[in-house]
Amino acid sequence: MVEKVRAGAGRLPPASRNRRKMNDSHPRKLIIAIDGPAGAGKSTIASRLARKLGYVNLESGAMYRALALKAIEHDLSFEDEAELVKLAQHSQIRLEPSLGGNRVQLDGRDVTLRVREDDVSQAASRVSVHPQVREWMVARQREMGLEGGIVMEGRDIGTKVFPDADVKIFLDADPVIREQRRIVQYHVRGVSAESMATELRERDRRDRTRANSPLEPAPDAIVLDSTSLSEEEVLERVEALVQEKLKPSAPNA
């Protein structure tokens, strides 16, 4: 049974997986990091991969969205870093794995559907640029994944949150293809589709140019271009990388 995971107050543990406790009688559990821009398909792949492995899917984006929603509800400026950090420190963000994907709890409320709405998505992108907000989030995410057995997707998982992750994948795709995928995903047309494409391009610009943890592949990440691949093909390639890592090491000669 997958345990529930929670983000709350606590101090920052080391990122190194060397602190994880391992039981020799059980297969080693991995930390798998999947990074990439919006629309590349990383959320879907991470969710499906976690279910197949029996791992927890930690959505960093859902955590930022939950905080952004609370900022909206408290009418806080997305530019006020100090107030956003205070808000985070007094928040409980809980991810509850289920067969249909994670349920997102914010201070005891189920906000799963609300955090997927466009205004919250855009607010999350603006909230996430602040270094102190990201520091708070990174601390919580490390706490959640310290024991391994997780698949985590985001924009700086392999570079910042878990630089010692066992498997690092940077999932990318042509910007036009990513825009089309988002339009199909949200069933929008006409002016709404044009607006969504514009917002995606602006989000890309913010993610790639922010001073703190910009969107970029980790030096040791496998870059996977999903432009011409189906969802099943991407999943197969990611699974192959994971299975290779799970193979027992050859004994010393």
Q: Annotate 157-198 with DSSP letters as a single string.
A: IIIII-TT-SEEEEEE--HHHHHHHHHHHHT--HHHHHHHHH
β-strand pairing of 222-225 with 103-106:
unpaired
Is pLDDT above 60 for 73? yes
User: Mind listing the domains of the chain with CATH numbers?
Assistant: 29-242 (3.40.50.300)
- pLDDT of amino acid 222: 96
Phi/psi at 132 (nearest 5 deg)?
-70, -30
CB-based contacts of 155, cutoff 8 Å, min separation 6: 35, 36, 37, 60, 128, 207, 213, 215
Contact 203, 155 (CB under 8 A): no
Query: What pLDDT shows up at residue 69?
Result: 98
- State the average pLDDT for the chain: 84
pLDDT value of residue 252: 57
* Residue with more model confidence, 203 or 62: 62
Each residue's pLDDT tens digit, 150-176:
999 988 899 989 999 999 999 999 988
pLDDT at 16 over 70: no
Quote the CA–CA distance of 149 and 69 in Å, as a whole number. 28
Band (8; pLDDT cuts 50, 70, 90): low
Residue 35 burial (CB count, 10 A): 29
Residues 6+ apart with CB under 8 A from 43: 59, 61, 153
Q: How many CB atoms lie within 10 A of CB 58?
A: 29
pLDDT per position as a tens digit, 199-244: 888 888 888 887 777 889 999 999 999 999 999 999 999 999 999 9
- Rounded to whole angstroms, the Cα distance separating 103 from 96 reads 5
Structure letter (DSSP) for residue 211: S
Q: Can you say whether residue 98 is alpha, beta or left, with left for phi > 0 and alpha for psi between -120 and 50 degrees?
A: beta
- State the pLDDT at residue 204: 83
Stated length of the chain: 253
pLDDT of 107 over the 80 cut: yes
